[in-house]
Chain A
Amino acid sequence: MAAAAELTLLEKSLGLNKGNKYSAQGERQIPVLQTNNGPSLTGLTTIAAHLVKQANKEHLLGSTAEEKAIVQQWLEYRVTRVDGHASKDDIRTLLKDLNSYLEDKVYLTGYNFTLADILLYYGLHRFIVDLTVQEKEKYLNVSRWFCHIQHYPGIRQHLSNVVFIKNRLYTNSH
């Protein structure tokens, strides 16, 4: 998904109706937003955080210092690790790490839904769609989290619904 399309999705999920236009810069097609009252903003997570503030939903950036830092950490993770030329192996490591991280968590920050969940969901969608049933079961905590986010009101929009099977088929793999 191109960054501009992703930001448009984000705008809708935040309830912003105006609809910004985005241009793309360089080979990696980094999004650029020309704001009305200032210089342009460059970069997916920068613009996303800007939109959240515009929509007056600052709680999505975290409420405490700790939560704010964690949100930013996963946003950085999204643009440095999930995006770019990730190989199959990289993705496997990433899912493994994330699976282990989410073992005791509902959302990335713990108990609060934040921008980090939204952008990581958008970023991982293309990989999760292609997972086999067995793999989905292997990364059980990721699957649970992903399924939860895709059903969060207003987030998924036109993206395909990824089906997760409730009863486990490969019980001996755990």
Chain B
Amino acid sequence: MRLFVSEGAPGSLPVLAAAGRARGRAELLISTVGPEECVVPFLTQPKVPVLQLDSGNYLFSTSSICRYFFLLSGWEQDDLTNQWLEWEATELQPALSAALYYLVVQGKKGEDVLGPVRRALKHIDYSLSRQNCPFLAGETESLADIVLWGALYPLLQDPAYLPEELGSLCSWFQTLSTQEPCQRAAETVLKQQGVLALRPYLQKQPQPSPPNGRAVTNEPEEELATLSEEEITMAVTAWEKGLGGLPPLRPPQNPVLPMAGERNVLITSALPYVNNVPHLGNIIGCVLSADVFARYSRLRQWNTLYLCGTDEYGTATETKAMEEGLTPQEICDKYHAIHADIYRWFNISFDTFGRTTTPQQTKITQDIFRRLLTRGFVLQDTVEQLHCEKCARFLADRFVEGVCPFCGYEEARGDQCDKCGKLINAIELKKPQCKVCRSCPVVKSSQHLFLDLPKLETRLEEWLGKTLPGSDWTPNSRFIIRSWLRDGLKPRCITRDLKWGTPVPLEGFEDKVFYVWFDATIGYLSITANYTDQWERWWKNPEQVDLYQFMAKDNVPFHGLVFPCSALGAEDNYTLVSHLIATEYLNYEDGKFSKSRGVGVFGDMAQDTGIPADIWRFYLLYIRPEGQDSAFSWTDLLLKNNSELLNNLGNFINRAGMFVSKFFGGYVPEMVLTPDDQRLLAHVTLELRHYHQLLEKVRIRDALRSILTISRHGNQYIQVNEPWKWIKGTEADRQRAGTVTGLAVNIAALLSVMLQPYMPSVSATIQAQLQLSPPACSVLLTNFLCTLPAGHQIGTVSPLFQKLENDQIESLRQRFGGGQVRKLKTAVVSLSISHGVTSLVSLSSPDLSLFPSLTLLLLHLQFFFPILARRVLGAKGNHSPGNIYNWRLGSFMATGSNSVVLFQAKVSPKPAVVDTVAATGPQQIQMLMDEVTKQGNIVRELKAQKADKNQIAAEVAKLLDLKKQLSLAEGKPPEAPKCKKKK
């Protein structure tokens, strides 16, 4: 068969991706034709891509070509896939062609481009989040995903047109974009030029007529109209049951133990390492996420045990102890208390918060080890290990740094490379360095024990085969485990030459301890054992217990692979993880959290900001890195607090309560529901169900949106029905005002319960204000009940949230650092203006932590920019205006990180006038001078106040940085740094 394509024809994307996906590629002959060539003899209008089949028939519809490839591989399409394809052809394509034409041919930007497609994008996002599947037609990828991805890719590959508020769409899009067939199709069609690669084709096409009419969507506003009669009747029936519809409360248990015939939920959060203060990313990644789920699980009346603790063994503790002149035990005691305090402040509802340095830990770890040993799953071998002569000890993995043997990344750790993610054997590192003294360690040999993972691999796969289907393992955790298994498991060393750890109960190993790889995950068991002597009822009870484990993605191998292997090999009927919930990473502003550089907010500092714990909880959960990395941003925090909490949620709940107090003397009025009110009930019920569906799947961030949606409906309902007007009218009018007020305050009561997992203190405040009865506070059903019946007396109502002011946020941003990318952007913009390259199209957010420092990067930029500018502009201006160039990190630095696009530049239609340089230069210099003066003052003030050493250092660094920028702008060589920066 022969495929006819044309340069820049967008249809080639899905077609090539489908061919790659369905392995139709091999038999495919590809011919490139001009955009106006008529390939299909019977069609008047030219059309590409076209597939000519061996029978002579032509397929001229893009999705039919894709479908054909799938059918050849034996993959049939179901109704849902057909529905998506029909929607793509009738709704998405008209809108998308218009958008692409505006963008590529007419050079429009922003909302002009996004406007026509926004509705369609929302529809996809809404469907993905509603049906709760990672893909359009279910749990697995289908033809629909390929066709829609291919259609959307030219537009959405530009981050400016990927609406980040549409979270489900974004994560779906990114999942597909990283797949190999899609990546290859994208490279072939767009040729690294972005959407402009479509230009040669699109400019030959007639201008598409703008899509008119309303698109087919299942969006909420339309759903109001399509609620069925049954749904409304059911919602009304449930509502009328009132407080009588609540089940009896479970009596509190102590200790909580699994019970036959009930749902028993065991929740763990990854154990934070004791000698570090956790930052916001650590908190949202495991402890806070698990807390929301634990609280939700209790609201569902499931029998719930939530546990966590500090991971205390290891070299890092020993070193810290040396530094601080304490014993390791004293260090652990000190930091354990700090951790416990932070989590208490964040209102984390642990049933027990333990630690790993207990006799139980030794007992259980040694027991598992002995069982593995007698069953032949432990190997013994000599290990070549790095020994630092200067520190006189073997170096643990985390105390070696060097160049990654796989990708050449310079700051690879001894066990894993942060950049390529591959596991490293510390002695394979190139140019190893002891992280403590910076001297080069030597290789020495030592006897060690290994867990024979290859021998356990079949058992593991068998277990995964049973566990994974239908479970709620997050896609990233599945992916990580799959890639490990694909590469094949290798024996893993489980002992270390240390003193601070669980002793190895074997002759000849008296001076060694277990490696955290082996024993940290056993901490969950020992912490439970310290909580109750009946711990085995939780941990040796896989039939009755549902184990949910929360962590950031770097912890997945320990929980999904190593511990299950140990437990399976020990053959003691251990409870294994049923749902492994891994988050992506949270970034800070535009970089990474960094303790050493003093960037980011850490657990203990959150308290000092004056922002209440619940607001922190809300915002962190709102941006939870679910499915993709996300970033903490001060401005966004302010925005979300002021818009979502203050204006939406707080406003609604406060108004509902105020009306009861003001108009009805604090007593909930009689409610006579009209059909409109009944529809609202059904609608709230629907959203409540959606909330449940999402939380059952541990989609924590998405479920929070449901709460906000209900409160938006509530606000609208009050706004439309205006109880404050009716209250002044006749008896009937007053009754209407009563119904509206009563229904609204009941929605507020429901919201207070739904909010409980997210904002426990705010929830309790609302419940106290409304005097909601204890049973109604402690249970959340799938139906919306009238829990505040007519005649119920509420308490005193007062506002729930405070406005955050710009100044306040700005000063916090100053205090905690950030904004590095902004600085870089400013520098790049001014450089490009002075070199005649205009229109920096976009500055992607590069991971600046890859660089030793921003200052150094700016220096390099200053040096290389003229060369790059010449390359872009071409020696004789032979590059056509409007072309976009990606400039990559590798061009600047010898980091080998070629793949990261630093920024894109667009060739200006005419060379920039020299005057602009002169006009911009002094202005920018003046600006920098002002900033230097300002920063100087800040540093002087801090020094005068004898402020914290780290804080001063951070501000000084900023000052130096500014000074360098200034000298660069003035064209002077930068001054040599006066003192070496301490690492």
Contact = CB atoms under 8 A, between A and B. Distances in A.
A129 B214 CA distance: 30
Contacts of A39: 80, 131
A100 B42 contact: yes
A123 interface: no
Interface string A17-50: 0000001011110101010000101111110011
B216 A43 contact: yes
Given A23-B226, A43-B83, A80 B59 contact: no
B40 to A, nearest CB: 9
Contacts of B42: 97-98, 100-101, 103
Contacts of A110: 57
B215 interface: yes
B45 A93 contact: yes
Interface stretch (B60-68, B235-243, B610-618): B60-68
A3 B83 CA distance: 15
A45 B68 CA distance: 17
Interface stretch (B85-93, B244-252, B598-606, B790-798): B85-93
Contacts of B65: 69
A161 interface: no
Nearest to A50: B79
B214 A26 contact: yes
A26 B216 CA distance: 6
B59 A73 contact: yes
B222 interface: yes
Interface in B69-113: 71-72, 79-80, 82-83, 85-87, 89-90, 93
B88 to A, nearest CB: 9
Given A26-B214, A97-B42, A100-B42, A80 B90 contact: yes
Contact of A96 (B44, B64, B214, B215): B44
B68 A65 contact: yes
Please indicate which of the listed interface residues A45, A65, A97 has the most CB atoms of chain B within 10 Å of its own CB. A65
Contact of A41 (B41, B59, B64, B83): B83
B470 interface: no
Nearest to B75: A65
Contacts of B89: 76, 79-80
B596 interface: no
Given A70-B57, A80-B90, A25 B64 contact: no
Contacts of B87: 42-43
Nearest to A53: B79
Contact of A68 (B57, B71, B86, B93): B71
B546 to A, nearest CB: 27
Interface string B360-384: 0000000000000000000000000
B380 to A, nearest CB: 57
Interface in A49-77: 49-50, 65-66, 68-70, 72-73, 76-77
B214 A45 contact: no
Contacts of B86: 42-46, 76, 79
B68 A46 contact: no
B63 A76 contact: yes
B222 A79 contact: no
B684 to A, nearest CB: 21
Contacts of A101: 42
Contact of B72 (A34, A65, A70, A93): A65
B53 interface: yes
A49 B71 contact: no
Contacts of A98: 42
B55 interface: yes
Contacts of A49: 79, 82
Nearest to B81: A46
A26 to B, nearest CB: 5
Contacts of B214: 26-28
A72 B222 contact: no
Nearest to A49: B82
B80 to A, nearest CB: 8
B79 A79 contact: no
A60 to B, nearest CB: 14
A73 B82 CA distance: 12
Contacts of B213: 26-28
Nearest to A102: B42
Interface string A73-92: 10011011000000000000
Contacts of A50: 79, 82
B552 to A, nearest CB: 34
Interface in B31-48: 41-45
A142 to B, nearest CB: 12
A112 to B, nearest CB: 13
Contacts of A93: 44-45
Contacts of A27: 213-214
Contacts of A69: 59, 64-65, 67-68, 71
A83 B605 CA distance: 62
Given A23-B226, A70-B57, A72-B61, 10 more contacts: A25-B226, A28-B216, A43-B216, A66-B57, A68-B68, A69-B71, A72-B63, A76-B89, A80-B89, A80-B93
17 contacts: A23-B226, A27-B213, A27-B214, A28-B216, A39-B80, A41-B79, A41-B83, A49-B79, A50-B79, A68-B68, A68-B71, A69-B67, A70-B57, A70-B64, A72-B63, A80-B89, A97-B43
